[in-house]
Chains A and B, each alone.
Chain A
Amino acid sequence: MKISYFPGCTLNTTAKGFDNSLRASARVLGVELAELPEWNCCGATFPLLADNVLDLAGPARVLVAARETGERLAVACTTCYNVLRRTNLAISADGDKREKLNFFIEAEYKGDLRVLDILQVLRDEVGFDRIAQMVKKPLTGLKAAAYYGCMVLRPAAEVAYDDPEDPRALDELLIALGAETVDYPHKGECCGAYLAVKSAEATAEMTYTILSSAQKNGAQLIVANCPLCQFNLDKQQVEMGRRHAGYQPIPIFYFAQLLGVALGLETDDFGWEKHYIDPQPILALVRS
């Protein structure tokens, strides 16, 4: 199966390990991720003003380029997914915005692309059952907390492909890879996102809520789908012991990294060196 692919800025730079592990895994699963020949930044946050037409021009260009290559676009970064999907809906549902945007970017786009999160593609088109059959190194014995963040859950009517109050897709993937998943109440709680640039203190507290909740419920690792969530949850732990005595760090993986590990792939370019909390002890458990 071939599908157009949008990696986004962060997967091209600081989250290269997410991109590499995803592409390698997709190849083995028979999914050809065809990167858009020309793409630009999605804008990194959906513009919330009523008159947001100018801010939608960037993501709209991406949609136009993607539509020229096919009917579907797979997006790896969940923030990009959120922005592109909502932009697409704005174009298809709002005739006035559609007309203005097409005028600005010199296109005739109707909003008839299907914008999909890559996890949705793995679930609905590859199938977790099929992935389970291809696992070579099952993640047996690992207790993982699936962390969904905001971008694939809210606003539910526009972006959710799962139960927004009790999402399961990431849990089901991890179970297919042989791991156990823990239930915990903060799987869709905001990590702070770009607030990290303004206030490290606030982000530290927001991530502590999520990290401690996952650990209290037995998690040995947390699995993320967004490069900014991964970064915040990972980096904030470096100094967490100063604020919360006795805090024990927990590694934060991208689901694609664990998918690649479980498929038995070469993992040298999975970006392990970018992690703040060492993932190697958990990886050693899988390899042993």
Chain B
Amino acid sequence: MRVRLSAEILRNELVRKVEEISGEDLLKCYQCGKCAAGCPAAFAMDMLPSQVIRFAQLGLVEEVLNSETPWFCAACQTCYARCPKGVDLSRIMEAIREIVLQERGDYIDLSTLSPDDLAEFPQQAFIASFRKYTA
């Protein structure tokens, strides 16, 4: 994939939005990959956690907004604990989810949960997932 770099692209609208919403500096990341190496959910993601930042830095907005990766982040903050630059990636994932939820509405349809799941899941699982996955 050919990507043209410029100061404008590096400070693209997605980067500025994510920084505003998350309070994190995306350009701090120098792609060491420790977040991706330590992420316990990385195996399920279509883009590594570090790649989400890289794609955003390169202005590949649609790729980031269409990625499943932010939805697999459980905010365990292992990435933040290990980041040598102190970037709290879980906050960046939250900001991306927020942007997608605002644009496209709910990510999960609560009516599709099975009666068994409704009966068995602890309350906190529902409350937390509604807060992460619905607009």
Contact = CB atoms under 8 A, between A and B. Distances in A.
Interface of A: 8-10, 13-15, 41, 43-51, 55, 77, 79-80, 150, 153-156, 164, 189-190, 192-199, 201-202, 205-206, 209, 227-228, 231, 235
A190 B78 contact: yes
Nearest to A188: B78
B81 A154 contact: yes
A212 to B, nearest CB: 13
Contacts of B78: 150, 154, 189-190
Contact of B124 (A79, A198, A199, A202): A79
A49 B122 contact: no
A190 to B, nearest CB: 3
A202 B129 contact: no
B98 A49 contact: yes
Contacts of B128: 44-45, 79, 193-194, 228
Nearest to B131: A45
Given A192-B41, A209-B40, A41 B22 contact: no
B98 A14 contact: no
Task: List 6 tightest A-B contacts by C-beta distance, closest first.
Answer: A50-B23, A190-B76, A194-B128, A44-B127, A197-B129, A48-B94
Contacts of A8: 124
Contacts of B98: 49
A50 B21 contact: yes
A205 B43 CA distance: 9
Nearest to B126: A197
A9 B122 CA distance: 9
Given A48-B75, A51-B21, A190-B78, 6 more contacts: A9-B123, A49-B21, A154-B80, A197-B108, A197-B126, A197-B129
A155 to B, nearest CB: 6
B127 A192 contact: no
Interface in B55-113: 71-72, 74-78, 80-81, 88, 90-91, 94-95, 98, 108, 113
